[in-house]
Amino acid sequence: MNVTDLTVKNDYCIGCGVCAGVCPSNNLYIDWSPRGELIPHTNNLCNDKCSICLDICPFNNHKINQDAITNSLFSKTRNIKYNEYTGYYLNCYVGFRKDTVKRLKSASGGLATSFLASLIKENIVDRIIAVGISEDNNRMFNFKILNNSNEVYSCAGSAYYPVEISRILKEIIKEKEEFEYAVIALPCVAYALRLAIDKIPKLKKKIKIIASLTCGQLQNRFCTELLSLESGIKVNELAKMNFRQKSENNSAINYMQVATDKNGNEGIPQANQELPSHLWHYQYFKQNACNFCDDIFGEVADVTFMDAWLPEYIDNYRGTSLIISRTPLALKLLENSHEYNLKEISVNSVIESQMGLIQKKRTLLKGKLYKSESSNSFYPEKRVKPDFNVYNENREFIDLTTEIQDLSKELWPKYRLDKSTAEFWNELKPLESKIAKYERKIRIKNLMTKPKKFFKKISGS
């Protein structure tokens, strides 16, 4: 048995590629599924005694969960504090990179790339593993090995696109040189990497620092294709996508998505909040694994970066970041750098910036787990438990958003080569209207008042 018989078969795979990267028989490879998602495929039958892919898969069940990992990594650090949502933390910061040109090229305040570049400049690691434009025609973005700070800066920005790390892991496991690495990864991938580091001494020796990004959800490849067609570039002409172009006419949260065709012509920029549908809110093309994710803040990472989605920063189109630092080294690098404009911020403000995610990943998750448990098939155990009452209270929302996720993935292949997105929307809009109607009905009860009350409860205010 391998991950294809469990995680993939039950649709809990996020396509991280860690399983294929560590498979000792080279038996797994990552490629697209018909649903626009990266998943492992098998070359041959596995050796019966081998279970390493299952041991490191972030959506399998493990005794060593995120809590066990973070206890062993961070709990004994001097002055460390703990919060049930952020996990361990030494300090939290808000700020941005002083160099405005580099800040404008980044997703938010440009602190993630600055921090990674400083790891090379200060000789803390030799190389960085981050996500940038892929050289492979079949993938728009992917993990890459970066050798210097200029290469790190060239990977600024957020790739809302499936990426996988198998080739890189294979390369560093095989390489003879003693290079040391820092990796930036989404919380689920950071967790898989920690599990892999625990199993494979070579990875433990080489991966010295893991940085993470706060993460709400990951859409499949079709979402990028839809954004392209929406901007007037046909899917088979799409070459590049900038998911987070800043515009001085918009707030930071209303960033532009800009597609470029194979001749270098840009499509019509699409403002995030002015698309024909709020794709993220209605959860179009969302990967099912993300419905079963309880890690908001990349708890196993040494340092986590995110958007400052707080009223006092949203209006600044240049972008502002929040940081959670969990190790003395990260703290020292952040506090000593003259490249950032940084100030301390309370952990409660960091939590407040992600209230919607906390509601999804900690409360609604209980209902989703209940639904999976009732179906009697495999589901990944989480740090919150299945709860009938949560499911019952949110049943319509959970069922309708699951339907939109599935239907959008099923229907897009039929419309992707169209000249416009009109027919696709015609099929999906009735379902979206049902969710909107439901939300209107319960807005005050469920989606607005509860997070606020809930925040008052956790912050004690």
Ligand X SMILES: Cc1cc2nc3c(=O)[nH]c(=O)nc-3n(C[C@H](O)[C@H](O)[C@H](O)COP(=O)(O)OP(=O)(O)OC[C@H]3O[C@@H](n4cnc5c(N)ncnc54)[C@H](O)[C@@H]3O)c2cc1C
Q: Give the binding site for ligand SF4 (CB under 6 A).
A: 3, 7-8, 13-19, 40, 57-59, 186-188, 192, 215, 217-218, 289-290, 293, 295
Q: Which does 367 bind (CB under 5 to 8 A by kind): ligand SF4, ligand X, none?
A: none
Q: What is the spatial distance between Cα 257 and Cα 168, in angstroms, rounded to a whole number?
A: 28
From 65, 118, 166, 214, residue interacting with ligand X (rule: CB under 6 A)? 214
According to the binding rule CB under 6 A, does residue 183 interact with ligand X? Answer: no
Query: What one-letter code names the amino acid at 242?
Result: N
Q: How far is the CB of 149 from ligand SF4 (least distance, A)?
A: 27
Choose one: 39-47, 214-222, 363-371, 432-440; the region binding ligand X (CB under 6 A). 214-222
For ligand X, the closer of residues 23 and 350 by Cβ is 350
Residue 206 or 286: the one with the smaller Cβ distance to ligand X is: 286
Under the criterion CB under 6 A, does residue 216 sit at the interface with ligand X? yes
Measure the CA–CA gap between 387 and 364, rounded to whole angstroms.
Answer: 9
What are phi and psi for residue 324, nearest 5 degrees? -115, 125
430 contact partners, CB below 8 Å, separation of at least 6: none
397, 438 Cβ separation under 8 angstroms = yes
Q: Report d(CA 246, CA 108) in Å as an integer.
A: 9
Residue 228 touches ligand X, criterion: CB under 6 A: no
Do strands 91-97 and 127-133 pair parallel, antiparallel, or not at all (unpaired)?
unpaired
E-strand stretches of 308-453: 321-325, 340-344
- Determine the interface stretch with ligand X among 71-79, 212-220, 250-258, 328-336 (rule: CB under 6 A): 212-220
CA angle 147, 153, 155 (to 5 degrees): 85
Q: Can you tell me which of 53, 90, 155, 200 binds ligand X, judged by CB under 6 A?
A: 155
**Among residues 290 and 358, whose Cβ is nearest to ligand SF4?**
290
Stretch that binds ligand X, among 9-17, 69-77, 210-218, 442-450 (CB under 6 A): 210-218
For the window 341-380, what string marks contact with ligand X as x by the rule CB under 6 A? -------------x--x-----------------------
Output the smallest distance, CB 190 to ligand X, in A. Answer: 9
C-alpha–C-alpha distance, residues 241 and 245, integer Å: 10
Q: Taking CB under 6 A as the rule, does residue 160 contact ligand X?
A: yes
> Out of 70, 86, 106, 250, which residue is the one contacting ligand X (CB under 6 A)?
106
Kind of pairing between the strands at 91-97 and 340-344: antiparallel
Phi first, then psi: give them for residue 272, nearest 5 degrees: -50, -40
Task: Decide: helix, strand or coil at residue 298.
Answer: coil
Q: Cα dihedral angle (81, 87, 90, 95), rounded to 10 degrees?
A: -130
From ligand SF4, ligand X, none, interface partner of 211 (C-beta below 5 to 8 A by class)? none
Q: Which stretch binds ligand X (CB under 6 A): 21-29, 63-71, 299-307, 359-367?
A: 299-307
Query: Is the Cβ of residue 34 or residue 264 nearer to ligand SF4 in the bound state?
Result: 34
**Measured distance CA(108)–CA(101) in Å, rounded:** 12
Give the number of residues in contact with ligand X, rule: CB under 6 A: 35
Helix (H, G, I), strand (E, B) or coil at 271: strand
Partner in contact with 109, chosen from ligand SF4, ligand X, none, beta carbon below 5 to 8 Å by kind = ligand X
**Angstrom distance (rounded) from CA 65 to CA 295:** 11
Q: Tell me if 327 sits within 8 A of 74, measured CB to CB.
A: yes
Q: Which of 63, 41, 49 is nearest to 1 (CA)?
A: 49
- Residue nearest to ligand X according to CB distances in the complex: 216
- The binder of 323, among ligand SF4, ligand X, none, by C-beta within 5 to 8 A per type, is none
Q: Distance between CA 281 and CA 363 in Å, rounded? A: 16
Q: Which does 306 bind (CB under 5 to 8 A by kind): ligand SF4, ligand X, none?
A: ligand X
Tokens of 331: 């703290």
By CB under 6 A, is residue 301 in contact with ligand X? no
Contacts to ligand X by CB under 6 A: 106-113, 116, 130-132, 155-160, 163, 184-186, 213-216, 218, 305-307, 309, 319, 321, 354, 357
